[in-house]
A and B are shown apart, each in its own frame.
Chain A
Amino acid sequence: MQNTLTSRKAWFGNIKGDLVSGIVVALALIPEAIAFAIIAGVDPMVGLYASFLISVVIAFAGGRPGMISGATGAMALVMVDLVAEWGVDYLLAATILTGVLQIIFGITKLARLMKFIPRSVMVGFVNALAILIFTAQLEHFEGANWVMYAMVIGALAIIYLFPLFTKAVPSPLIAIVVITIIALMTNVNVLTVGDMGQITQAFPSFLFPNVPFSFDTLMIIFPYSLALAIVGLVESLLTASIVDEYTGTASNKNREAGGQGIANIITGFFGGMAGCAMIGQSVINVSSGGRGRLSSLTAGLVLISLIVFMGDIVSQIPVAALVGVMVMVSIGTFDWGSIRTLKIVPLTDNLVMIVTVLTVVFTHNLAIGVLTGVLLSAIFFVAKISKVKVTKEFKYNRMHYTFQGEIFFASVTELMDEFDYNTENAKEAVFDLTKARLWDDSAIAALDKIVSNLEQKRINVYVVGLNQLSSELRAKLSRKLSAH
């Protein structure tokens, strides 16, 4: 089993590695934070403040040292409609409520419900996320000139080819620097980050979201907050497991859920959008040598310092460069292995994955996609186990029926329909239930019904081989028939 880090080790066990990786992550976080804010339809600062605050708070409150959290695409996609219809103040209120819900999830240990999310839904989740991040970029091409296309292609070329020379600096950062320099030198007229909103060179300050404190407000934000809370926890716990696997150390999932909640509450009060753990950034962090809480703290502090001292430069970044980074993020997020394994994975699993993806693509809501996927796989599961096999054999003047399978509400109808009452010349029948289990009252009722049908034909029925749980249930529920 994996060991948990002691709190001293989680903070100071890897100081040099954490400082270096924290700086790398901060550089990689800036373009993503801005791009996700643009997806959500808010000022770049809302994303930057979120990434700063969340990574700093999570450093203290999180349950997975070495994991990076901030403004994410998954959360941005959920909040698009809320921002478009009600504005940024409602988003901040929703962010605070998201945090409250996540703390409740953490306290009630709801994190363990994650095991009800099947693998195929998780795969659908990341694939849908990748597709939506990609399609969100397409609107930037509407009415764009060739310069825009050239810049996006140039950015992508740098992102994918630069690592062949060195991996010390994140290649998306190089792409952004190069494209920005080219834009400034050639003085071409392209959309920049500054056009999307003012880069404020200041630390965030406490503010109360400017929304009426009423039941109506709650009704507006609650559905979004619930969806945000669910999406945030799904991505955070998936990311935590990835970091667990990579570092070979265990994490505290319930503490992480609560920590995400605390981070979102604080973020909402300081003008940031709701966020969660980031798979891509966490992978960058651990690959760059980050292991402890210090890496997340460093990332947040370096990020805000860069914004405060170099905000002018940040606002000169062409949006095209960010589009290039987002295309890379979507390619990196998509689980390409799931396409390769389509042929060998069971059909029902593939269906669940594809339905999850389609639901998200149509509703633009990852939470609805996850719930639909879980529901569908539950239905498939019930369908799979609801086959009861009954075989009959004539021996010693009795007809022996052997039941095999799970007898419960979903399987009784078929069982009743297909039961073969022909006992030939036997006057007695034996029901062998060694390999079956009675689950609920409909199972008892079905068994009673079959027994009484046979008894009407003057055939005595002996029920044998019930396991203890099944026979206790039968003793409690069976009315018609006394145990022979």
Chain B
Amino acid sequence: MYKKILLATDGSEHSLRTTNHAISLATITADSYIEVVYVKESTQVKSDTLHNWNKVGVMNVQEDKVMGIEEDLQKAGISYKTTVLNGEPGPTIVDYANEKEFDIVIVGSRGLNAFQEMVLGSVSHKVAKRANCPVLIVK
């Protein structure tokens, strides 16, 4: 049923758990494939670069965040592709999911407090509201 699965990740530990749900969905349907989407957000990039200052050039700080997920997917033997996009996470994921006509979007819920949610806006809410396909929010 779900052939094209979009797994949105912010590279956090929580998003590794989200991966497990993506894997179990993918194993239900034959020939399904997962596209791991990581959105680079400017303030996050700024603080990551600062905190990995002595590793800059040795590693791609942003891309390396999805390595854990890729390992899990390889282990599970699921075909996947990784895409890195730039912009505001919520709208960027929505646009990509709608444009590429995914069958389902899987996204983690970070659990922000009320104030953070007011200022930052919840990525999972935005995706759930505006994506044209079913959205699985993993708590």
Smallest beta-carbon distance A384→chain B, Å: 15
B79 interface hit (Cβ, 8 Å): no
B52 interface hit (Cβ, 8 Å): yes
Chain A residue at minimal CB-CB distance from B87 = A287
Q: Contact residue range for chain B?
A: 20 to 34
A456 interface hit (Cβ, 8 Å): no
A341 and B42 contact, Cβ closer than 8 Å, known pairs A241-B56, A245-B56, A246-B86: no
A2 to B57, CA, bound (A): 9
Q: Is the CB–CB distance between A341 and B45 below 8 Å?
A: no
B40 interface hit (Cβ, 8 Å): yes
Q: Is the CB–CB distance between B50 and A245 below 8 Å?
A: no
A-B pairs, top 7 by smallest CB distance, nearest first, are A119-B53, A287-B42, A283-B42, A246-B45, A242-B49, A337-B47, A122-B53
A115 interface hit (Cβ, 8 Å): yes
A248 and B84 contact, Cβ closer than 8 Å, known pairs A2-B60, A241-B56: yes
Interfacial chain A residues near B57, Cβ < 8 Å: 241
- Greatest chain B CB density within 10 A among A115, A123, A246, A283 is at A246
CB-contacts of B63-98 with A (<8 A): 63, 84, 86-88
Smallest beta-carbon distance A129→chain B, Å: 12
A279 interface hit (Cβ, 8 Å): yes
Candidates B43, B48, B50, B61; contact of A283 at CB < 8 Å: B43
Q: Is the CB–CB distance between B46 and A123 below 8 Å?
A: no
Q: Is the CB–CB distance between A242 and B45 below 8 Å?
A: yes
Interfacial chain A residues near B42, Cβ < 8 Å: 246, 283, 286-287
Q: Is the CB–CB distance between B49 and A335 below 8 Å?
A: no
Interfacial chain A residues near B43, Cβ < 8 Å: 283, 332
Interfacial chain B residues near A154, Cβ < 8 Å: none
B residues in contact (CB < 8 Å) with A: 40, 42-43, 45-54, 56-57, 60-63, 84, 86-88, 119
Interfacial chain B residues near A248, Cβ < 8 Å: 60, 62-63, 84
Q: Is the CB–CB distance between A246 and B56 below 8 Å?
A: no
Candidates B50, B52, B54, B60; contact of A335 at CB < 8 Å: B50
A118 interface hit (Cβ, 8 Å): yes
Q: Is the CB–CB distance between A279 and B46 below 8 Å?
A: yes
A336 to B60, CA, bound (A): 22
Q: Is the CB–CB distance between B45 and A245 below 8 Å?
A: yes
A370 interface hit (Cβ, 8 Å): no
Smallest beta-carbon distance B13→chain A, Å: 14
A118 and B53 contact, Cβ closer than 8 Å, known pairs A246-B42, A283-B43: yes
A122 to B56, CA, bound (A): 13
18 sampled A-B residue pairs with Cβ under 8 A? A2-B60, A117-B53, A119-B51, A119-B53, A241-B49, A241-B57, A245-B40, A245-B45, A245-B48, A246-B42, A246-B45, A246-B86, A248-B60, A279-B46, A283-B43, A286-B42, A286-B86, A332-B43
Chain B residue at minimal CB-CB distance from A118 = B54
A332 to B42, CA, bound (A): 12
A246 to B38, CA, bound (A): 12
Interfacial chain B residues near A132, Cβ < 8 Å: none
A307 to B86, CA, bound (A): 32
Contact with B along A168-198 (1 / 0, CB 8 A): 0000000000000000000000000000000
Interfacial chain B residues near A279, Cβ < 8 Å: 46
Contact with B along A254-279 (1 / 0, CB 8 A): 00000000000000000000000001
A138 to B38, CA, bound (A): 41
Q: Is the CB–CB distance between A115 and B46 below 8 Å?
A: no
A364 to B89, CA, bound (A): 38
- Greatest chain A CB density within 10 A among B40, B52, B56, B84 is at B56
Interfacial chain B residues near A123, Cβ < 8 Å: 50-51
A238 and B60 contact, Cβ closer than 8 Å, known pairs A246-B86, A283-B43: no
A119 and B52 contact, Cβ closer than 8 Å, known pairs A2-B60, A245-B62: yes
Q: Is the CB–CB distance between B47 and A335 below 8 Å?
A: yes
Interfacial chain B residues near A160, Cβ < 8 Å: 119
